[in-house]
Each structure stands twice: as C-alpha cells, then as structure tokens.
Amino acid sequence: MAAYVAGLNEKPFRAKQLMQWIHQRGVSDINEMSDLAKSFRATLQDKVEVLSLPVIKDEHATDGTRKWLLDVGAGNAVESVFIPEDDRGTLCISSQAGCAVNCRFCSTGRQGFSRNLTAGEIIGQLWFAEHLLRNDPNAIRRIEAYPTPGWEHTGRVISNVVMMGMGEPLLNYDNVVTALRLMLDDKAYGLSRRRVTVSTSGVVPMIDRLAQDCPVALAVSLHAPNDQLRDQLVPLNLKYPLRELLAACERYLPFAPRDFLTFEYCMLDGVNDSDVQAKELVRLLANIKCKINLIPFNPFPESGLKRSSAQRIHAFFGILLDAGMVATVRKTRGDDIAAACGQLAGDVVDRTRVRERAVHSNQIQLDQDVDAKADADALDADDEEQEQESGYQSERSVQWLKKLDD
Ligand code: SAH
Ligand code: SF4
C-alpha cells in the first residue's frame, strides 16, 4: 500500500489511512473515505476498486457455522468457514485453489491443485466475512474496544483466524505472509499472534522462514506416529520425514507466540488409532512442548475411510493423557454443510493429475522403506519391541490403504 501511494506521489500516511478505511472499517466506497483529500479520492476512483470475491454459495449449519463458496475465477472456487463460539469467532481461511499435497484423507487434496491464491484473495476472505458479520445482527460479537482510539465500533466478530481451509499455506509462502501481516496489523485487523494459526502438513524450510518473518501460532498435521504410515497418509513426508519435521518444530518453539506447538492427528478407524500407535506417538513427541489435537475424521464421498469410534478416540486420548501429554479432541463443527475439517472442496480445475502422482509416490515409497529400516535398527531395545508392534499395525494399515486405492 505504501508503495502504491508513493507511486501516486502521496505521503506515506495516506497508506495508513487507506488501510484503516478498507481493512479496519470495511469501507469500499472511496467517496466515504472522508479524511482523504478530494483530489486523492478522485485519483483513486479512476484507478481502484475495493471488492470482495463473488459469493457463489452462502450456507448456514444448524450449529451456527457458516460457509461461503467464493469465486476465484477460471472455474475455481474456494471456501471460507466461520465458526462462532461463546468466547470467540474463528474464521477458517483458504490459501490455495486445491492442494498439491494430496493427503489420503482430505477432500481438498483428492481434488488436485489449480493455483495459489493472491495475498488479496487470502485477506479478502477475512475482509468479506468480518464486515459482513459485523452488520449481521445475529452474528455473535465480542464486545471489545477497537485498537484505534476514537473509533466507536462496539466490537469485532472475528477474533481468531486459522489457515486451515483449502490448500497448504506454506506452499504459498509469500502471499500467506503478506496476508498474515495484515491480520496482525493494528491499522488493519489487529489480531493477536496467539489467535492466528498456520496449519501445515510439514514444509520444513518454510517453517524456519515463518519463525523469522511472522511467527504466529503453528499447528502441524502429523496424523501418524512413524514414517511408514505418514508416507502413505501425507505424501509430503517422503520429502520431509518425521525426524526433519520435528527438528524444525523444535527450532520454531522459541519464536512461537505461546510456549507450545499443536500437532493435529486425524483419527482414522483401523489406520492410525490403536493403543500401540498412541504409545508410539507419546514416545515420538515426548521431548517437544506440544498439545495434541485429535480430529475425528470427517468423511467425504469416495474416501473409503471411516471415522474412529468414540470409544477408540477416548481410549487413544486416555493413553496420551496418562503419559502426561496435553491433548484435546476437536469438536466437529458444521458437518451438516460439509464445512468440517477436510471437507472443504470448492471447485478446482486440477492441473496436477492426482492419480499419476499417486503412482509416482508409491515408487518413492520403496526407497524410503529401506531408510526407515535403518532408522529402526538404531532404536534402543526397550522401544524396539513396541515400535515393531506399532510398525506391524501400520504395515497392515498401509497394505489396506493400497488395496483401497486399487
Ligand atoms: N494444508 C494444511 C491446512 C489445511 S487442512 C494442513 O494440512 O495442515 C486443516 C486440517 O484438517 C489439517 O490438520 C488436516 O490434516 C485436517 N483434515 C484434512 N482432511 C480431514 C478430514 N477429512 N477429517 C478431519 N480432518 C481433516
Ligand atoms: Fe493439502 Fe492439508 Fe488437505 Fe493435506 S490435509 S491435502 S496438506 S489441505
């Protein structure tokens, strides 16, 4: 914005004024921006438009969750989800049209990848939802003073943002960081770093860059306690295996807004939810300050997978707690409008040929197995027995997943 106004020969403070009008106050009509000089308004009117993405669909779930399908052009559409709770309003934002990571259990991933969203398309989801909901008498509001003195709004609606919609945010790094900075800026949305979360499937080099550039809360999608199973569930693990991923997490911790990270673990019936796998997860994360968030799998057509039973989730959760881990089970919200985690599908013109890549990743799998065996040999004797037991279970899951694919 500063560069843009400089290009129009205007003073830098004009950029701040524009930021406030657009992001903080949600004003899109240049004429309403009353503290801008008339001549500057006239220039802007010729050159810019403040627009939200066209809304294709607006759905309300029975629990108050709301989902929008937003048109990003050329046959692609992305989804944003608002989740109201008693003490917060959370917006779940998309970062890409589709996703190239292709996780086994994620409907976005199964659709393939089209393109990165621009910084404008990312922050535009927050702009649109915040200002729409602020004018909605039924939206839950937090009564909170606005950061700018003299601004008389009673409160904002969105207090938390999670980059957990469609796409892998750290594979669209620059645009995501630009949008994150706007979320945190007092002249824009003024959100706390603790209340802005980037969720990643584990793009190791970008975790390190995020620590330097914009250290917000980090959630890492783990989903498996060993490389063998994670290779199958999250194919990015072939590139950045667990040892590298966890090392990056430890490096991030000193920069994190709280003194822990979150690991997400999607509970898949008979795949990653056994007692021995819970124990292996405890050993894997024993030395890292973290919270484990168990997400009951949200089914979507043709996934071939099932959600773990409530009893199984409870047992798995109990093992984590007994071992002294901090864990929670995520409440499923908005599943009657397919707005729950992993159900966001939008419309994606796939440019990545998902099936071909699946064959390719099985190829890489063979090499990785050899490495995994070498790792296992290095474990000490006590752990080895349980590790093997969990390994056998994971092996069975892997075979079963492969059959399902065939
Ligand atoms: N690409 C990022 C963020 C988007 S996905 C990532 O993978 O972290 C947000 C979360 O939803 C991730 O933890 C993801 O693993 C999880 N998820 C994906 N599909 C799911 C499904 N069908 N059921 C439950 N959680 C799912
Ligand atoms: Fe992409 Fe995340 Fe879905 Fe995996 S879980 S396919 S990384 S959006």
Q: In tens digits, what is the pLDDT along the chain, a chain of 406 residues?
A: 999 999 999 999 999 999 999 999 999 999 999 999 999 999 999 999 999 999 999 999 998 899 999 999 999 999 999 998 877 889 999 999 999 999 999 999 988 999 999 999 999 999 999 999 988 877 766 545 444 444 445 467 898 999 999 999 999 999 999 999 999 999 999 999 999 999 999 999 999 999 999 999 999 999 999 999 999 999 999 999 999 999 999 999 999 999 999 999 999 999 999 999 999 999 999 999 999 999 999 988 788 999 999 999 999 999 999 999 999 999 878 878 777 777 777 778 887 766 455 444 433 332 333 333 333 333 344 455 666 677 767 777 777 777 766 6
Burial 310-339 (b: 16+ CB within 10 A, else e): eebbeebbebbeeeebebebbebbbbebbb
For residue 264, report the distance from its CA to the centre of ligand 2, in Å.
12
Instruction: Give residue-wise pLDDT tens across range 235-287.
Output: 999 999 999 999 999 999 999 999 999 999 999 999 999 999 999 999 999 99
C-alpha dist (Å) from residue 306 to 161, 166, 270, 373, 403: 28, 21, 8, 29, 15
- CB atoms closer than 10 angstroms to residue 304: 13
State the first-to-last Cα distance of the chain, in angstroms, to the nearest integer: 51
What are residue 109's phi and psi, to 5 degrees?
-60, -40
Helix (H) or strand (E) holding 200: strand 196-200
* Choice from 81, 341, 343, 344 to test ligand 1 binding pocket (greatest atom count within 8 A of CB): 341
Q: Is 356 exposed, middle or buried (0-12, 13-18, 19+ CB in 10 A)?
A: exposed
CA distance 22 to 15: 11
103 in contact with ligand 2, CB cutoff 6 A: yes
CA distance 255 to 251: 8
Residue whose entry in the numeric block shows the structure tokens 């403040």? 50
pLDDT for 143: 47
The answer to whether 170 touches 82, Cβ cutoff 8 Å, is no
Cα torsion 197, 80, 191, 1 to 10°: value is 110
- Residue 21: DSSP 8-state: I
The answer to whether 207 touches 218, Cβ cutoff 8 Å, is yes
Name which residue sits closest to atom 4 of ligand 2, judged by CA. 103
CA distance 406 to 301: 17
Name which residue sits closest to atom 2 of ligand 2, judged by CA. 168
Task: Find the length of the chain.
Answer: 406
92 in contact with ligand 2, CB cutoff 6 A: no
The pairing of beta strand 55-60 with beta strand 88-92: unpaired
**Where on the phi/psi map is residue 190: left (φ > 0), alpha (ψ -120 to 50), or beta?**
left
CA-derived radius of gyration, the chain: 23
Residue 48: both structure tokens together: 């810019």
The answer to whether 19 touches 190, Cβ cutoff 8 Å, is no
What are residue 340's phi and psi, to 5 degrees?
-80, 170
CA distance 155 to 141: 6
CA distance 400 to 341: 24
pLDDT for 231: 98
The answer to whether 92 touches 70, Cβ cutoff 8 Å, is no
Query: Which residues, listed in sequence order, are joined to residue 217 by a DSSP beta bridge?
Result: 197
The ligand placed nearest to the CA atom of residue 103 is: 2
CA distance 169 to 100: 11
Q: Enumerate the active-site residues.
A: 79, 341
Instruction: Identify each DSSP E strand in 260-337 by its residue range.
Output: 261-267, 290-296, 326-329
The ligand placed nearest to the CA atom of residue 341 is: 1
For residue 188, report the distance from its CA to the centre of ligand 1, in Å.
28
C-alpha dist (Å) from residue 14 to 185, 186, 321, 338: 16, 15, 53, 42
C-alpha dist (Å) from residue 245 to 141, 276, 332: 38, 22, 27
pLDDT for 206: 98
pLDDT for 157: 87
